[in-house]
């Protein structure tokens, strides 16, 4: 029997965005670098390698987020026990909206997410760290013999 999806991703996003704070890139940029704010990058490691990283952001893949937030979990990360504001972002803002809503439902407060995600951050000229491993295939670090 085929599956019948009763709640699609758009409905999930709409519900999440009604419950959480959404920051513009400009507002997020004003918070970047503050000691009382943790930016949480939930993109896949390949996305970080390919697109770069926000300096100072904590990386937590979407699949481990709930386990890392919960202090009762054997996978808990102490960063989530801090008395700080948590600003989630992904590539475009969908996963981060769902993540911020989940974190808030779990009791993590205050939380927000960045509208447009890392893509909007880069387009607005936000600082980006790139890794040496993100060079194009075939690039060389030493001269040819």
Domains of the chain listed by start with CATH number: 16-128 (3.40.250.10)
Alpha-carbon gap, residue 70 to 126, rounded angstroms: 31
Reduced to 3 DSSP states, what percent helix, strand and coil does the chain have, rounded to the nearest 5? 40, 15, 45
Place of tokens 């989630």: 88
pLDDT recorded at residue 140: 38
Across the 145 residues of the chain, what is the mean pLDDT of every consecutive 10-residue run?
A: 94 97 98 98 96 97 96 98 98 98 98 98 96 47 38
pLDDT recorded at residue 132: 56
Alpha-carbon gap, residue 35 to 63, rounded angstroms: 26
Contact present, 90 and 117 (Cβ < 8 Å): yes
pLDDT recorded at residue 1: 87
DSSP state of 35: T
Contact present, 46 and 61 (Cβ < 8 Å): no
DSSP state of 67: H
pLDDT recorded at residue 131: 76
């Amino acid at each position: 029997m085929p599956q019948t999806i009763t709640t699609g991703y758009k409905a999930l996003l709409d519900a999440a965005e009604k419950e959480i704070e959404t920051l513009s890139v400009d507002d997020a940029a004003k918070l970047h670098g503050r000691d009382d704010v943790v930016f949480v990058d939930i993109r896949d490691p390949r996305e970080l390698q390919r697109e770069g990283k926000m300096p100072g952001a904590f990386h937590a893949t979407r699949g481990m987020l709930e386990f890392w937030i919960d202090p009762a979990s054997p996978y808990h990360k102490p960063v989530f026990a801090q008395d700080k504001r948590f600003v989630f972002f992904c590539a475009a803002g969908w996963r981060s909206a769902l993540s911020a809503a989940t974190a808030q439902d779990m009791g993590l407060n205050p939380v927000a997410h960045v509208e447009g995600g890392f893509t909007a951050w880069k387009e607005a000229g936000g600082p980006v760290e790139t890794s040496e491993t993100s060079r194009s295939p075939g690039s060389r670090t030493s001269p040819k013999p």
